[in-house]
């Protein structure tokens, strides 16, 4: 029978879908539980699992066809990479699956060693649904002119799980966890306002971003540095048109109040970028002269709030999440209320 390749997942494991991971899990479960498969059928199922796994490591898998395989059921050949230490490496793989006993005899390991030496292989893998004895593990641990790996069903599943974990979108996972934490902190602040004093400035920005999102705004949290003079960008509909507001947050654990210069800077950004308005939140309030230069129009465009205002937002967030609070028809009422 000619050598045969398997279709496997047909894609890089890095882009595998949940259904494709289920494909691998299902075949591994079959190898573990279905003891009525004929040997060649078992090898075909195993090949469908091994091919994408080895492909991820840079190897192409070939099935030798069963009969006359000289003790090797699969070849895994690495594509030649110039300068790589293992360029062009070939791995011999043997499958030993049993209908009854689940113990892999030492003779199977010895036979694989013999087949590897006879064919000049430097690395071989023995895959089985049985258990490897201490003697077998001790034998492969010895210094030999070849590398032997014993892979049981648990090890096969672990290999899949490891690649699946690497496939996780870490950035998205971190964002989700940060949002969950911010929501919990908002609930804590709503119940115990003094919790604000325990947070760093960036934590407060994240909490308020989560709060505004929960109140119904479109929210963009700007970078921690070079934020263009605003910490949070809020969007909502006003009379059927998209409106944009800037929020600046000052949380200085030194209990410093915000002065006139910071207020004028935010107002300047709002005017120059032609935004509808803004909100300046300062945990410890503002200095007496912070608003001296503001006109009546300026005060309509830019509103202010201290710790009490921030706590009030958090309390509304908690009620909204519990279904006890509904946003007003015009969301700007939340920002512009005194």
Per-residue confidence (pLDDT) for residue 3, from 0 to 100? 46
Closest by CA position to 232, among listed 256, 204, 255: 204
The Cα 55–Cα 61 span in angstroms is 7
Q: Return left, alpha or beta for 128; rule: phi > 0 is left, psi -120 to 50 is alpha, else beta.
A: beta
Domains and CATH numbers, the chain: 13-166 (3.40.1350.10), 171-336 (3.40.1350.10)
Per-residue confidence (pLDDT) for residue 15, from 0 to 100? 62
Residue 238's Cα: distance from chain center in Å? 36
Q: Which two tokens stand for residue 83?
A: 């300068």
Q: Which letter does DSSP use for residue 278 in this model?
A: E
Residue 198's Cα: distance from chain center in Å? 28
Per-residue confidence (pLDDT) for residue 240, from 0 to 100? 85
DSSP string for 171-182: HHHHHHHHHHHH
Per-residue confidence (pLDDT) for residue 113, from 0 to 100? 86
Tell me the sheet residues that pair with 60: 77
DSSP string for 141-195: HS--SSEEEEE-HHHHHHHHHHHHHHTS-HHHHHHHHHHHHHHHHHHHHHH-GGG
The Cα 77–Cα 100 span in angstroms is 32
Per-residue confidence (pLDDT) for residue 169, from 0 to 100? 66
Query: Mean pLDDT per segment of 10 residues, for the chain of length 338 residues?
Result: 47 68 90 86 92 88 74 83 60 88 83 87 91 82 79 92 76 85 96 95 96 94 86 91 94 90 93 93 94 86 94 95 86 81
Q: Tell the burial category of 141 from Cβ atoms under 10 Å away from its Cβ (0-12, 13-18, 19+).
A: exposed
For 45-60, b/e burial (b = at least 16 CB within 10 A) is bbbbbbbbbbbbeebe
Per-residue confidence (pLDDT) for residue 332, from 0 to 100? 86
Cβ neighbours for 291, distance < 8 A, ≥ 6 positions apart: 260, 263, 299, 304
Cβ neighbours for 267, distance < 8 A, ≥ 6 positions apart: 278, 294, 298, 301, 302
Three-state DSSP state, 4: strand
Cβ neighbours for 319, distance < 8 A, ≥ 6 positions apart: 325
Q: Tokens 């258990």 — which residue? A: 131
Q: Are 112 and 79 in contact (CB under 8 A)?
A: no
Three-state DSSP state, 21: helix
Per-residue confidence (pLDDT) for residue 238, from 0 to 100? 87
Q: Which letter does DSSP use for residue 254 in this model?
A: T
């Amino acid at each position: 029978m000619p050598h045969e390749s398997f279709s496997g997942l047909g894609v890089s494991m890095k882009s595998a879908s949940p259904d494709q991971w289920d494909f691998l899990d299902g075949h591994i479960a079959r190898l573990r539980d279905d003891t009525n498969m004929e040997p060649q059928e078992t090898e075909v199922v195993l090949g469908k699992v091994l091919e994408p796994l080895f492909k991820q490591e840079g190897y192409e898998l070939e099935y030798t066809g069963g009969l006359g395989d000289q003790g090797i059921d699969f070849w895994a050949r690495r594509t030649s990479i110039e300068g790589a230490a293992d360029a062009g490496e070939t791995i011999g793989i043997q499958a030993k699956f049993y209908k009854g006993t689940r113990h892999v005899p030492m003779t199977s390991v010895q036979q694989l060693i013999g087949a590897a030496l006879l064919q000049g292989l430097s690395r071989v893998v023995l895959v089985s649904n049985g258990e490897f004895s201490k003697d077998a593990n001790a034998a492969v641990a010895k210094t030999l002119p070849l590398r032997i790996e014993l892979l049981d069903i648990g090890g096969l599943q672990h290999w899949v799980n490891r690649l699946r974990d690497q496939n996780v979108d870490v950035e998205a996972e971190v964002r989700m966890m940060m949002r969950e934490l911010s929501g919990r902190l908002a609930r804590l602040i709503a119940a115990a306002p003094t919790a604000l004093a325990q947070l760093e400035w960036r934590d407060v920005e994240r909490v308020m971003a989560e709060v505004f999102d929960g109140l119904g705004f479109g929210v963009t949290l700007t970078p921690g540095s070079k934020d263009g003079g605003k910490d949070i960008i809020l969007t909502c509909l006003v009379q059927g048109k998209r409106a944009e507001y800037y929020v600046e947050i000052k949380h200085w654990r030194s209990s410093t109040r915000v002065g006139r210069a910071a207020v004028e800077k935010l107002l300047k950004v709002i005017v120059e970028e032609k935004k509808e308005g803004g909100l300046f939140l300062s945990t410890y309030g503002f200095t007496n002269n912070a608003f001296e230069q503001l006109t009546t129009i300026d005060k309509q465009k830019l509103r202010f709030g201290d710790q009490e205002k921030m706590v009030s937002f958090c309390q509304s967030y908690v009620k909204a999440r519990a279904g006890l609070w509904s946003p007003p028809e015009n969301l700007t009422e939340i920002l512009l209320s005194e």
